[in-house]
């Protein structure tokens, strides 16, 4: 296994955060758009497996395929840049400012949302044969999950808001671990394994991922 020492991959993480801050608006939006689209497709993929096999465990095992594709291709998820870009600020890299970090977060959010929305429209079109038929069981399941992740919390008031906040924090913890995992090795297979473990945990446990929810809601 090609393993990098902590001092080496920490430097890679800071360098990555710095490069994202100084990336052009066009490139940041494109990378965010592709990440949002791929993650939305991964969610459909996982739900389809769950519906066809009756096993949420099996669907969760395959969901990380999408996240692995995103990071191997160099695309950006909001949950990933939340961790990487502040590292460059904390390391006091020249030219890195709070405004630059916030700019990156905003652009990645817009890109992720646009990508997730595109896939939602395309999947709705394909699942209804161009809006000519009723949605099938997979589409109905996706809709019910989206409803549960919005109205399902609202009925509990403040406790619901706190619950979704904590689930979002736990999700971001796992995603951040996956981002770190992608940098501890130079081997593709080792990167995929390191990404897969925490992403599987968050999906199976039902934690709240902001980009997945952009698609489901």
The residue ranges of every structural domain in the chain are 6-129+136-216
Q: Which of 16-25, 98-107, 113-122, 131-140 has the lowest mean pLDDT?
A: 131-140
Please enumerate in sequence order all residues whose Cβ is within 8 A of that of 40, keeping only pairs 6 or more positions apart, or say none. 115, 116, 119, 120, 123, 211, 212, 214, 215
> Which of 117-121, 133-137, 148-152, 207-211 is most confident?
117-121
Q: For residue 67, what are the CA distances in angstroms to 35, 133, 210?
A: 8, 32, 14
Residue of 187 and 102 predicted with greater confidence: 102
What is the rounded CA–CA span in Å between residue 90 and residue 179? 18
pLDDT band at 217 (very low <50, low <70, confident <90, very high): low
Instruction: Look at residue 181 and tell me whether its pLDDT is greater than 60.
Output: yes
Name, in order, each residue with C-beta under 8 angstroms of 147's C-beta and a sequence gap of 6 or more: none
For the chain, percent of residues with pLDDT exceeding 70: 98
When pLDDT is cut at 50, 70 and 90, the band that residue 136 belongs to is confident
**CATH homologous superfamily for the domain 6-129+136-216:** Glycerol uptake facilitator protein. (1.20.1080.10)
- Model pLDDT for residues 37-95, shown as the tens digit of each residue: 999 999 999 999 999 999 999 999 999 999 999 999 999 999 899 999 999 999 999 99
**Strongest mean pLDDT among 8-17, 114-123, 131-140, 150-159:** 114-123
Q: Counting every residue, how long is the chain?
A: 217
Give long-range contacts, CB 8 A cutoff, 24+ apart: 190-198. Answer: 190/1, 190/2, 190/3, 191/68, 191/71, 191/72, 192/68, 192/72, 195/64, 195/67, 195/68, 195/71, 196/64, 196/68, 198/174
**Are 41 and 69 spatial neighbours (Cβ–Cβ below 8 Å)?**
no
Instruction: Name, in order, each residue with C-beta under 8 angstroms of 102's C-beta and a sequence gap of 6 or more.
Output: none
Residue spans of alpha helices (H) in the chain? 6-21, 25-53, 56-62, 64-72, 78-90, 98-127, 137-148, 151-154, 158-181, 188-205, 210-216
Question: Taking a C-beta distance cutoff of 8 angstroms, is the pair 36, 112 a contact?
Answer: yes
Assess contact for 207 and 178: CB atoms under 8 A: no
Query: Which band of pLDDT confidence, cut at 50, 70 and 90, is reported for residue 107?
Result: very high
pLDDT band at residue 141, thresholds of 50, 70 and 90?
Answer: confident
Partnered with residue 3 across adjacent β-strands are 185
Q: In this predicted model, which residue has the larger pLDDT, 152 or 128?
A: 128
């Amino acid at each position: 296994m090609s393993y990098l020492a902590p001092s080496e991959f920490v430097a890679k993480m800071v360098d990555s955060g710095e490069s994202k801050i100084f990336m052009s608006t066009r490139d940041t939006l494109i990378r965010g758009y592709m990440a949002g689209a791929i993650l939305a497709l991964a969610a459909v993929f996982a739900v389809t497996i769950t519906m066809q096999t009756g096993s949420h465990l099996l669907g969760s095992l395959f969901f990380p395929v999408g996240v692995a594709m995103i990071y191997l291709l160099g695309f950006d998820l909001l949950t990933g840049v939340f961790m990487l870009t502040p590292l460059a600020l904390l390391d006091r890299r020249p030219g890195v400012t709070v405004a630059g970090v916030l700019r990156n977060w905003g652009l990645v959010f817009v890109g992720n949302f646009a990508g997730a929305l595109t896939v939602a429209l395309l999947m709705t079109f394909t699942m209804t044969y161009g809006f000519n038929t009723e949605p099938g069981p997979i589409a109905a399941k996706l809709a019910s999950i989206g409803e549960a992740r919005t109205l399902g919390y609202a009925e509990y008031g403040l406790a619901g808001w706190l619950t979704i906040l904590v689930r979002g924090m736990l999700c971001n913890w796992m995603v951040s671990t996956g981002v770190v995992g992608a940098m501890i090795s130079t081997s593709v297979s080792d990167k995929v394994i390191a990404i897969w473990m925490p992403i599987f945990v968050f999906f199976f446990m039902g934690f709240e991922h902001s980009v997945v929810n952009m698609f489901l809601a």
